[in-house]
Amino acid sequence: MEPALRLGAGVSKQEIREKIWDYMEAQNIADFPRPVHHRIPNFKGSYEACQNIRELEGYSRMQEVKVDPDKPLEGVRLIVLQGRKTLLVPTPRLRTGLFNKIVPPPGATKEILRKCATSQGVKNYSVPIGLDSRVLVDLIVVGSVAVSVKGWRIGKGEGYADMEYAMMVSMGAVREETPVVTIVHDCQVVDIPEELLGDHDLTVDYILTPTRVIVTGCTRPKPQGIIWSMVSDEMMKRIPILKNLHFREKKAGKDITLQKEHLAHLKTSQRRAPLQNPGQIASVRPPDTVHSSHRDDERITSKTESSDVTTVYVGNIPQDARVSDMKRTLRECDAVPLRLNWQGAQGRAFLDYKDRATAEGVVSSLRALSFSGNTLWVNLAKKQK
């Protein structure tokens, strides 16, 4: 089957997301909650797509199933509960742990099981599962914004599905052969350039749509655990369970160097590498940018500027972010500019550097960095002074 959406050459992950979201809304494929932008999109026919889970080889023998809390996966959560299997759902944004086990009340009716499968039911009927629990997941079901027949997946950009899988590997809850399934509308099955994928990106083995079951045959390795050099201090604070896993892997003698420490090592050795954020997009190109006037400029250094000054565009900045937070982040990344033109209301900023080489190094360092919960879009500004 030909993809419903054709993507141009050089497309970025974020551009793919936007095209999918726009198409689903325009064609009225989207379903509650709407609009579907910035979500794992629910779609008309999601319940029918979920029924295909029963067609998977070995499903009847599977006992422990991890299903993400996204709305289009509600049908799968219900099927798992109706089959008297153990349903594990990740805690929202991993704030309080990794899994919750959904435990319906004794003698639960069909109606109660339906409630247990909803997002509210997940809250009301869940029991936390600790790191010491001997969990061995037989099947993983994740939501997606886009997926390819080769098994390459794009989420909504926050990276929790990727991080959850890496955590499960670290705690021994999954095996290499544990299948990963995603459930999407047919229009979400598109061609995804392989160069957009990072080592932390989770791939899928099966794609379930309202009309078909796709066996991807994907051979690209899944994440082998948490890549600590891609974990920032901000993520450690935001996801407390990471601290526990970090301590355990340190005791086990593994390399647990965090992002900031990794950057310091690179600076010492006079090398610069891209700062990645695990489970988040690894190669996002911002939309075409225009370098505006500097009436809102904030000088944060007193270095003398030259005619070679080069401007870097930074986008996808949360509207509630503060310029002081941006300055601190730039200092931590050794990327302090000659001038910072802050346009927080528009979700962007422009950074001036002394020459093109310096600016390109900053682009490499900041690209895909997490800032106040968003993944930054970073590139050289289209128009230079």
pLDDT given for residue 204 in this prediction:
97
Summarize the confidence of residues 82-110 as an average pLDDT.
87
Half-sphere exposure (Cβ direction) of 195: Cα atoms closer than 13 Å = 6
What are the tens digits of pLDDT across the range 225-276? 888 887 888 878 878 788 888 888 888 888 788 866 544 544 444 344 333 4
Please give the share of the chain, as a percent, with pLDDT higher than 70: 84
Please provide the CATH number assigned to the domain covering 310-380: 3.30.70.330
Lowest mean per-residue pLDDT among 100-109, 178-187, 272-281: 272-281
Confidence band for 282, pLDDT divided at 50, 70 and 90: very low
Please provide the CATH number assigned to the domain covering 13-215: 3.40.50.10420
Under 8 Å between Cβ of 285 and 340: no
Confidence band for 297, pLDDT divided at 50, 70 and 90: very low
> Higher model confidence: residue 7 or residue 123?
123
Residues 6+ apart with CB under 8 A from 161: 68, 142, 143, 155, 202, 279
Cα 73 to Cα 89, 109, 191, distances in angstroms = 11, 20, 23
Q: Assess whether pLDDT exceeds 50 at residue 319.
A: yes
Write out the chain in H/E/C secondary structure.
CCCCCCCCCCCCHHHHHHHHHHHHHHCCCECCCCCCCCCCCCECCHHHHHHHHHHCCCHHHCCEEEECCCHHHHHHHHHHHHCCCEEEEECHHHCCCCEEEECCCCCCCHHHHHHHHCHHHHHHCEEEECCCCCCCCCEEEECCCEECCCCCEECCCCCHHHHHHHHHHHCCCCCCCCCEEEECCHHHECCCCHHHCCCCCCCCCEEECCCCEEECCCCCCCCCCCCHHHCCHHHHHHCCHHHHHHHHHHHCCCCCCCHHHHHHHHHHCCCCCCCCCCCCCCCCCCCCCCCCCCCCEEECCCCCCCCCCEEEEEECCCCCCCHHHHHHHHHHCCCCCCEEEEEHHHCEEEEEECCHHHHHHHHHHHCCCEECCEECEEEECCCCC
> Higher model confidence: residue 305 or residue 327?
327
Confidence band for 108, pLDDT divided at 50, 70 and 90: very high
Instruction: Check whether the bond before 318 is cis (ω within 30° of 0).
Output: no
The domain ranges of the chain are 13-215, 228-263, 310-380
What are the tens digits of pLDDT across the range 7-54? 767 788 999 999 999 999 999 999 999 899 999 999 999 999 999 999
Instruction: Provide the mean pLDDT of the chain.
Output: 82
Measured between alpha carbons, how far is 193 from 140 in angstroms, rounded to an integer?
Answer: 24
Under 8 Å between Cβ of 246 and 235: no
Q: Assess whether pLDDT exceeds 70 at residue 292.
A: no
pLDDT given for residue 385 in this prediction:
59
Lowest mean per-residue pLDDT among 90-94, 149-153, 352-356: 90-94
pTM of the prediction?
0.67
> Higher model confidence: residue 114 or residue 367?
114
